Amino acid sequence: MGRVKLNVCVFRRITSETSISFTLYEGAKELLAVGAGTGFAPNGMRTMDLIEPGFRPLYEKVCVRNNGEDAQIILLEGMLLEEGFGRDQPWVGKSGWGDPDYIRKSAHRKGLLDIMTSFIPKDSIQLSKRLIKIE
């Protein structure tokens, strides 16, 4: 997923300023949406807006929002760097940082991968390739 995000960045930057061709080499046999859902922090969304203005509307269609009375505005939550991470402390669950304007949301990796790859020419992706050596 990270390489696809990087490729979208590179593709937008290169094609908007030059005619340099590029190729994304991926070791997997296919682009797979493996893992949990993923989301973007506010700075990540602003970055994607700058890289690809068409991304946000598509992302908004597939993302799941944190809605209802139990909605959380927490972006980060603190824990201790010790055995058990401080889960036995009375402040656990009350140590979050957020903002009333922040809405926690995420998307299934498959939906996000489909969106990201829609911005990349299919012929710029080579699967089953692995870097062995750089000279």
pLDDT of residue 11: 57
Share of the chain above pLDDT 70, in %: 66
pLDDT of residue 73: 59
Rounded CA separation 106/41 (Å):
10
Nearest to 91 by CA among 106, 78, 104, 82: 78
Tens digit of each residue's pLDDT (9 = 90 or more) over 18-68: 566 777 888 888 877 776 677 777 888 888 888 888 889 998 888 877 656
Rounded CA separation 4/48 (Å):
13
Q: How many CB atoms lie under 10 A from the CB of residue 4? A: 19
One-letter amino acid for residue 73 of the chain: I
pLDDT of residue 58: 92
Mean pLDDT of 83-99: 73
Biggest CA-to-CA distance, the chain:
58
**Which pTM was predicted?**
0.61
